[in-house]
Every structure is written in C-alpha cells, then in structure tokens.
Amino acid sequence: MLELFNTMTRQKEPFKSRNSVVKMFTCGPSIYSPPHIGNYRTFIWEDVLQRYLEYQGYQVKRVINLTDIEDKAIEEAQERGVQVEALTGGNAEHFIAEAGRLRIKLPERIPRSSTSIGQSVYLIRKLLEKGYAYHYEGDVFFDPLKFKGFGKLFRLDMRKWPKTKKRFRQDTYPGQRWNLGDFILWHGCKKNDKICWDTEIGRGRPSWNVQDPAMISESLGYSLDIFCGGIDNLYRHHDYNIAVMESVSGQELARHWLHGQHVLVGGKKMSKSLHNIVYPENLIEQGYSWEQIRFYLLSRQYRKKLNLNMEAVRAESLRLDALRAMAQDLSTPGEDSGPISREEAVSGLVEDLTATFETAMNNDLDTSSAVKGLSDAVKRLHPFHKTGRIGREQTQVIKDKLRKIDSVLQFMF
C-alpha cells in the first residue's frame, strides 16, 4: 500500500482517496520569471506521484496553475518596460515547452490567475458575508483570528499573535517568516494601477492569497485528496489557502499534504540576491540531456534537500546512460535465445524488477531507493542476456515490466 508523509499530521499514512477519482492540486509556477531547477524538482516529483497513482490503477484529476497577476509580475514588467501579458505569456510558453522536454505530463487545461477573477470575487464576497473578511481603505483583508485553527498546517503558535491590529498588503514577502496580522485578499485599484477589473466588490485585482483557492474551487471543488507544493509554501501560503477555502465551504480542504525540499547550490537556497540560480538550459549548455536532468532531480527522495553538485550530475548522468543501455539490451531478444530460460535465477530477478520498485515507491515515493533497486536488478539480469540465457518469452516480460516502470519514471526509453 502506498504510504505518503502527510505534513498536516507529521507522519506517514496510507493513501486513501475520497472516491474513484483522485483530486490532486500541485502549485504551479509564478510566471514573472522562468522556472529554475529547484522549481522543476517539485514539478517532477509531483509528476511522478501522479504517474505512480495511475500505475496503481487510480484515475487522477490533477490541476497545476499559473500565477500571472501577482505583485512580482507587475513589478518585473514595469522594470523591463513591457506589458504584464507579454512577460507572463512568454514565460508560460517557456514553462510548457521545458515541462514537455522534462517529460512532465501537464493537464490539458491549465488555469491562470487572470482567468479566475470571477471565482476570486465570489470567494471574497462569501468571506465578507460570513464576517471573515472586511473592507479597509479600498482593499479587502482576511482576519485570521476569525478562523478557528488558523496556522494548523504550519502549527503556528497563535499565542504570539499581536494585540494590536496589523495588516499586510503585499502578495508575498521575502524569506521564511510569518506575517502576524491580517492578510490581503483584494487590491483596490489605486492611481496609476494598470491591472484592474471592474467587479461587484469594486475595481481592483485579487491577491495571490485568494488566487489559488479560486482556481482550485473552480477546477476541483472544495475538497481534495492531495495538495502538493514546495516547502516554502508552509510559510503563510498554504495556511492562507486553508483559511480561505475552509471558511467558505466548511469542509476539509485536503486529506494529504505533501511538501518537497529545496535544491541548494553551494549549500544555500537559490535566490536572485545570491546570484546562484540554475536553469535547465545551464545544464543543457554543458552537454546534459533533459532525461539526465530529470534523473538527477529524482536521485534523492523529494523530502530531502538536494545540493546541486556538478560532479554528482555527471556521475548520475553516467549511471543513467548505463541503465538505459542495459534496459535496451534486456528489451531485445538475444540471437541465440530459446523461447524460455531454464535458469531459475532469471525468474527471480525478473520478479525483482517490479518488487523492489514498488516497495520503494510505496515508501513515500522513495525514488532514490526505487532507482537503486531497479538498477541492481537490471545489472544482475544483464549478464544472462549477454550469454543468451534469457528466453524470448521472458525478454518480452522484462520489456513489459521495464516499460511499465518507465511510465512512472520517464527516463529509460
């Protein structure tokens, strides 16, 4: 049985879906800039999760979103002297193209903040009606003290909440910090603001804090099976999502919460200020393939930090090349092969292909152990193939098993 570490409970739990279709939300990129390697690590393990659920027979309805009208996008467009739509549109195309090269399966429809304005306004109206939100100087704020259990995902100590009223107007704030006060839901249109919509609650735009809830509720409803994202989202963002959604619906937003760790460079988180951001194209320019990048980003289990090291990238790339060559050999009958192998060891090794893979994957998507177990089984099988001791029928079984495993991992064939 698949077990996943649930951030909400801080323990591994058997995965249980609410019904036959698994509803899964995965936080997509903020497209004020192109995604970097750290972003893609998150998107790749989320892709593997979806593919493994399908491998196990589940039908998955997954939503990944694009954030295209936040403060950062507006500021970046102003700095570059371009329209926001041109900036975010180009970055969206860039993301979709790179996701395809990295074999990330994207849903046919990808909602954007700018396409969910009506739903954002609907949620804010409901929050105003229920007393969770209020107008202030043209904006709308959410009062966390009105929502019982605020900060439950992070396990925020509400005893430290300030006695005086504080309001935080920005969509996001730098660093891993908590803003102890009311958070913004709606930016009322101010003088010189160019990104505004005329709505029932006034002229303005929704904040980042309500955009994800709008896209989720519009696409998947108010109750999910799985909610995924990077570890950064544990600070503010996901608890804001919970507060908004559960205040409107009165239902539990998600049964399972999964958060992946950072990719580090030189032991530090990637950031513009440190000038240490690495993009996929930087590795492509050094001669690595998209499959090698995907393989490297899956070389550690998703909840463990991955320190980007070029020697490790090279070593993992060579490891993948060897695995792919052996997998290709094992999928092709040898010239002298009979119909069935008489070697008892072959049957056991063939079974090991899927057994070791599934055991590791069922242990909270341990891709590192899954790949190691798969590689070891392939290495042990390969000498039998080289000496013609694997039958043609067993070759077909091996090929089918490897193809099915690769339907999840997406780097062997």
Nearest to 238 by CA among 176, 280, 297: 176
Work out the pLDDT band at 294, boundaries 50, 70, 90. Answer: very high
For position 41, what pLDDT does the model report? 98
Whether 38 maps to a domain, the answer reads yes
SS3 293: helix
Spatial CB neighbours of 110, under 8 Å, sequence gap ≥ 6: 28, 64, 65, 66, 96
Distance in angstroms (rounded) separating the CA atoms of residues 165 and 136: 12
Q: What is the pLDDT of residues 344-402, one digit of tens each?
A: 788 888 988 999 999 999 999 999 999 999 999 999 999 998 888 888 888 999 999 99
The average pLDDT across 154-178 equals 93
Whether 322 maps to a domain, the answer reads yes
Nearest to 213 by CA among 190, 180, 247: 247
For position 347, what pLDDT does the model report? 85
Whether 279 maps to a domain, the answer reads no
Q: Are residues 199 and 324 in the same domain?
A: no
> How many domains are contained in the chain?
2
**In sequence order, what are the beta bridge partners of 224?**
254
Q: Which two three-digit tokens encode residue 149?
A: 């259990």
Q: Are residues 38 and 142 in the same domain?
A: yes
Distance in angstroms (rounded) separating the CA atoms of residues 155 and 158: 9
Q: Are residues 226 and 161 in the same domain?
A: yes
Distance in angstroms (rounded) separating the CA atoms of residues 313 and 300: 12
Q: Are residues 378 and 320 in the same domain?
A: yes
Cβ proximity of 37 and 308 under 8 Å: yes
Work out the pLDDT band at 133, boundaries 50, 70, 90. Answer: very high
Q: Are residues 58 and 139 in the same domain?
A: yes
For position 379, what pLDDT does the model report? 95
The average pLDDT across 261-279 equals 89
Residue type, 80: R
For position 392, what pLDDT does the model report? 87
Helix H or strand E encompassing 243:
helix 237-249
Whether 284 maps to a domain, the answer reads no
DSSP single-letter state for residue 357: H
Residue type, 120: S
For position 338, what pLDDT does the model report? 64
Spell 41-75 as b/e; 16+ CB within 10 A means b: bbbbbbbbbbbbbbbeebebbbbbbbbbbbbbbbe
Q: Are residues 242 and 328 in the same domain?
A: no
For position 234, what pLDDT does the model report? 94
234 burial (CB, 10 Å; 0-12 / 13-18 / 19+) is: middle
Strand order of the β-sheet with 306-308 is 268-269, 263-265, 306-308
Mean pLDDT across the chain: 95
Spatial CB neighbours of 275, under 8 Å, sequence gap ≥ 6: none
Whether 269 maps to a domain, the answer reads no
Residue type, 312: A
CATH number at residue 322: 1.20.120
Q: Are residues 248 and 297 in the same domain?
A: no
Answer whether residue 295 shows pLDDT above 90: yes
CATH number at residue 74: 3.40.50.620
- E strands present in 48-156: 59-64, 133-136, 139-142
Spatial CB neighbours of 373, under 8 Å, sequence gap ≥ 6: 352, 356, 357, 359, 360
Whether 119 maps to a domain, the answer reads yes
Q: What is the pLDDT of residues 58-108, one digit of tens each?
A: 999 999 999 999 999 999 999 999 999 999 999 999 999 999 999 999 999
Distance in angstroms (rounded) separating the CA atoms of residues 267 and 305: 10
For position 339, what pLDDT does the model report? 65
Taking phi first (over 0 means left), then psi (-120 to 50 degrees means alpha), and beta for anything else, what does residue 287 get? left
For position 275, what pLDDT does the model report? 86
Q: Are residues 108 and 202 in the same domain?
A: yes
Q: Which two three-digit tokens encode residue 255?
A: 């049964």
Q: Are residues 248 and 355 in the same domain?
A: no
Q: Which two three-digit tokens encode residue 53?
A: 């659920």
What is the percentage of the chain residues whose pLDDT exceeds 90? Answer: 88
Distance in angstroms (rounded) separating the CA atoms of residues 264 and 268: 5
State which residues form the domain around 101: 3-260
> Which residue is it, tokens 């439950």?
152
Spatial CB neighbours of 32, under 8 Å, sequence gap ≥ 6: 70, 72, 73, 75, 76, 77, 87, 88, 91
Whether 357 maps to a domain, the answer reads yes
Answer whether residue 342 shows pLDDT above 90: no
Cβ proximity of 239 and 150 under 8 Å: yes
Lowest mean pLDDT among 54-58, 146-150, 219-223, 333-337: 333-337
Q: Which two three-digit tokens encode residue 154?
A: 């992070």
Q: Are residues 134 and 238 in the same domain?
A: yes
For position 341, what pLDDT does the model report? 58
Q: Which two three-digit tokens encode residue 59?
A: 């039908």
Q: Are residues 319 and 249 in the same domain?
A: no
Distance in angstroms (rounded) separating the CA atoms of residues 314 and 296: 9
Work out the pLDDT band at 20, boundaries 50, 70, 90. Answer: confident
Whether 265 maps to a domain, the answer reads no
- E strands present in 174-262: 182-188, 197-199, 202-206, 224-230, 254-260
Spatial CB neighbours of 45, under 8 Å, sequence gap ≥ 6: 260, 297, 298, 302, 365, 367
Spatial CB neighbours of 46, under 8 Å, sequence gap ≥ 6: 26, 64, 228, 260
Q: Are residues 248 and 322 in the same domain?
A: no
